[in-house]
Amino acid sequence: MSFKEEFARYSWDTVKEAIYAKTSADVERALTAPKRTLDDFMALVSPAAAGYLEPMAKLSRQLTRKRFGNTIQMYVPLYLSNECTNICTYCGFSLDNKVRRRTLTDSEILQEVDVIKSMGYEHVLLVTGEANQTVHVEYFKRVLERIRPHFAQVSMEVQPLDRDEYEELIPLGLHSVLVYQETYHQDDYRKHHPKGKKANFNYRLETPDRLGQAGIHKMGLGVLIGLEDWRTDSFFTALHLNYLEKTYWQTRYSLSFPRLRPFSGGLEPKVEMNDRELVQLICAYRIFNEEVELSLSTRESEKFRNHCIQLGVTSISAGSKTNPGGYAVEPESLEQFEISDERSPAEIAQMIREAGYEPVWKDWDASLILND
């Protein structure tokens, strides 16, 4: 049994219809319920909830403060490679995109690490494309061994791996893995991923199961907003989260909600999501699940991020580079996507403090994962 079976019980169109049929009475019931169900979540992401943004924001902020206190977690991505054998219509690293490919060597990684450390980071997110000939589990093992002494917490956003590969990486200090489904709409998924291993929808869909079975401490889910109807895609994300929490109860979870960003020659979003709608989604996730971590990257603008940290978001990045070598080795190379908030980590930390929160750089310890 995996999420595939649970997923098969739902039809995209039926879910979408149900969401769009929600009324203000459904929204009010969801807002006042002591425990919220998936049905309540549908109401909270529905068009009917648009008029309830302020009470949703108030509730979301209150629930977030109770669980996470007055703190915001800080992390930063470290792009190791832009080699990729997949075609993804929306990504700067897509196989058919003419960019110079680079995979960082050990010494280059350490140069990047120096810069990241000097910014104050203790939590690093390792990012790659998918190039199984060069950027494979042996490469990751070597990288983890090099990186681990420098950081309290190491996360990864790389190609989906097999369970036994995760089991090899976790004892080397791998704390969390992010794997976004991009969209739960199968036909649309096929359209956006015509070539490469990523074209296999089900292998990706079952990745969180493999991570849970391998005993990962934390995993991150999400969809790329702009590919399909965001309300329906978010429902499936919530469904996935619910299934995973019950099945792999020793793992903690985080959600991201990246909106499609432009890159040279890339796809325009099919479905636009405006700022009000993104706030609605953030609050809906929080009201639905009081414990899940919500993460917001530098894709979003300064002003938007300044406010979102007070509405439910619990972790953010700052000073990010989305190109391999971007911090020190080759700052001018092509980025995966354009970032929007270009403030330094120190400026972001200052903003967080001024908002009445403590920026948390360290919330894990390398010694908490035993290497045996």
* Residue whose CB is less far from other proteins, 41 or 263: 41
Interface of this chain with other proteins, residues 288 to 307, rule: CB under 8 A: 291
- Count H helices, E strands: the chain? 15, 9
Dihedral sign for Cα atoms in the order 117, 64, 294, 47: negative
Q: How far is the CB of 80 from other proteins (least distance, A)?
A: 25
Provide the residue type at 193 as one letter: H
Q: How far is the CB of 128 from other proteins (least distance, A)?
A: 27
Interface of this chain with other proteins, residues 47 to 106, rule: CB under 8 A: 65-71
Q: Which DSSP letter does residue 170 get? A: G
Q: How far is the CB of 61 from other proteins (least distance, A)?
A: 11
Torsion of CA 86, 87, 89, 91, to 10 degrees: 40
Q: Per-residue contact track with other proteins, 335 to 354, x per CB under 8 A?
A: ------------------x-
d(CA 55, CA 68): 20
d(CA 238, CA 231): 11
**Size of site (CB under 8 A) for other proteins:** 29
Q: Does 1 interact with other proteins (rule: CB under 8 A)?
A: no
- Where does the chain have alpha helices with state H? 3-8, 12-20, 24-32, 38-45, 53-68, 106-118, 137-147, 163-169, 186-192, 201-205, 207-214, 230-247, 275-288, 302-308, 345-354
Torsion of CA 33, 37, 43, 45, to 10 degrees: 120
Neighbours of 20 (CB within 10 A): 14
* Residue whose CB is less far from other proteins, 29 or 67: 67
Q: Does 117 interact with other proteins (rule: CB under 8 A)?
A: no
Q: How far is the CB of 124 from other proteins (least distance, A)?
A: 15
Q: Which stretch binds other proteins (CB under 8 A): 4-12, 133-141, 247-255, 334-342?
A: 247-255
d(CA 362, CA 272): 35
* Residue whose CB is less far from other proteins, 6 or 245: 245
Q: Does 252 interact with other proteins (rule: CB under 8 A)?
A: yes
Query: Looking at 152, 161, 179, 296, which residue binds other proteins (CB under 8 A)?
Result: 152
* Residue whose CB is less far from other proteins, 69 or 265: 69
Return the closest-CA partner of residue 286 out of 257, 247, 261, 259: 257
* Residue whose CB is less far from other proteins, 122 or 233: 122
Tokens 């849970």, residue located: 212
- What angle in degrees, to the nearest 10, is found between the helix axes of 230-247 and 275-288? 20
* Residue whose CB is less far from other proteins, 100 or 149: 149
Q: Does 11 interact with other proteins (rule: CB under 8 A)?
A: no
Q: Does 211 interact with other proteins (rule: CB under 8 A)?
A: no
- The answer to whether 314 and 293 have CB atoms below 8 angstroms apart is yes
Q: How far is the CB of 368 from other proteins (least distance, A)?
A: 5
* Residue whose CB is less far from other proteins, 123 or 299: 123
Q: How far is the CB of 333 from other proteins (least distance, A)?
A: 33
* Residue whose CB is less far from other proteins, 175 or 261: 175
Query: Looking at 13, 96, 342, 365, which residue binds other proteins (CB under 8 A)?
Result: 365
Tell me the CA distances in angstroms from 310 to 166, 353, 358, one per residue in order.
34, 12, 12
Q: Does 151 interact with other proteins (rule: CB under 8 A)?
A: no
Interface of this chain with other proteins, residues 311 to 340, rule: CB under 8 A: none
Dihedral sign for Cα atoms in the order 17, 12, 84, 153: positive
d(CA 337, CA 264): 9
Q: Does 251 interact with other proteins (rule: CB under 8 A)?
A: yes
* Residue whose CB is less far from other proteins, 307 or 353: 353
Contacts to other proteins by CB under 8 A: 65-71, 122, 152, 218, 245, 249-252, 291, 353, 356-358, 360, 362-365, 367-370
